[in-house]
Structure 1
Amino acid sequence: MSNSKMTFHVETVRLDAHGSLSRCKAAEIPLDTDMAGNPNAFNPAELLLAALSACIIKGIERVMPILKFELRGVEVRVDGVRQDVPPKMESITYEIIVDSDEPDRRLELLHDNVKKYGTVFNTVAPGTQLSGVLRRKG
C-alpha cells in the first residue's frame, strides 16, 4: 500500500467588495465575501456545509461498489448553528435521504462507512457537535 498523501490546491481571488472566486482544476465557485451578504453565492459557512454534504455523497459513491449497495438516489440536508464568541460552527446536523430498497441494517452499514471514512466529515467532527441520520426516502 502506498504511503503517498493526497494533496489539494485551491486559489481564490477577490473580485470586488461583493464577492470572490475560487478555482480548482477546471472548476470555479463564486463566493459570498460581501459583509452585507450576497444571495448569488455561498458564504464561507455555507461552503463548509456544502463540503460536508459533498463528502457524504462521495463517501457513499466510494463504498457502493464495495458493499454492492443499490440505490436510485441520495439527498443530503445540512444545517449549521454559528456561535458568536468565539465565532465557530457550534453544531451541525445532517439528514441523508437514500432512495433504496436495501434492508435497514444495510442502511446503517452505509451510514457507518460515511462516518468512518469521510475526510471532511472527520475534519469537522472533532471541532463541532456533528450529528445526523440516514433514512430511507419515502
Structure 2
Amino acid sequence: MLEYEVTAQRVDTHGSLAQCKQAQLVIDTDLDGRPDAFNPAELLLAAVAACILKNLERIAPMIHFDYRGVTVKVHGVRQDSPPKMMRIEYEITVDSDENDRKLELMHENIRKYGTVYNTVAPGTELKGILRRSASV
C-alpha cells in the first residue's frame, strides 16, 4: 500500500500553507476568498485534473499512445446545504494523431485506474470526455 502525507497550517486570516515533500502550496482559507490561491473546492478539482494527467502519463507508454500535449478542464457544481460537490465534469483535450479507438482506450484506462478519480466518483456525479484537439 502507498501512503501519503500533507501538512497544512494557518498562516493568517487570509490563507494557509500546505506542505508535502519539498513542495508548498498557498491555500485560500480567507472567508472573503482570494484570487491568488486555490480554495478547498478548487483544490479538489485540481486533484481530479492532476489524477487524469498523471494517469495519461502512466498509461501512454503501456498502450503506445503518442501525443504532443494535453489540457484538462474541470468544472464543479456545489450545493450549499449541506455543502457538497454535486457534480464534476471534465474535458480532456489531447493533441494527438491517434485513432478514435486509441482515444477511447486511453479514456477507459484513465477512468479505471485513477486513485483520485475512483475516490471521488462514488460520492459525486463524475463524467467527462476525452477528445482530440481541433488543430489535428
TM-score bucket (shorter structure): over 0.9
* 2:64 maps to 1:65: no
Indicate yes or no: 2:31 matched with 1:52. no
Which residue among 60, 71, 76 is the counterpart of 2:72? 76
Q: Give the length in aligned residue pairs.
A: 134
Paired with 1:137 and 1:128, the residues of 2 have a C-alpha distance of 27
Deviation at 1:8?
0.1
Aligned to 1:105: 101
Question: In the TM superposition, what whole-angstrom CA distance separates every residue of 1:19-77 from its partner, at most 9, and x where no partner exists?
Answer: 00000000001000000001110000000000000000000001011001100001000
**Residue 86 of structure 1, CA deviation:** 1.1
In the other structure, the counterpart of 1:24 is 20
2:8 aligned residue: 12
- TM-score (normalizing by structure 2): 0.98
Regions of 4+ moved over 2 Å = none
Kindly indicate whether residue 112 of structure 2 is the aligned counterpart of residue 116 of structure 1.
yes
Q: Say which of 123, 126, 130 aligns to 1:134.
A: 130
Structure 1: segments with no counterpart, 5+ residues: none
Which ranges of structure 2 fall in alignment gaps of 5 or more residues?
A: none
* Local SS of the residue matching 1:113: helix
TM-score (norm 1): 0.96
Q: What does residue 40 of structure 1 align with?
A: 36
Give the 3-state SS of the residue equivalent to 2:34 in structure 1: coil
Q: Once the two structures are aligned, what percentage of the paired residues are identical?
A: 60
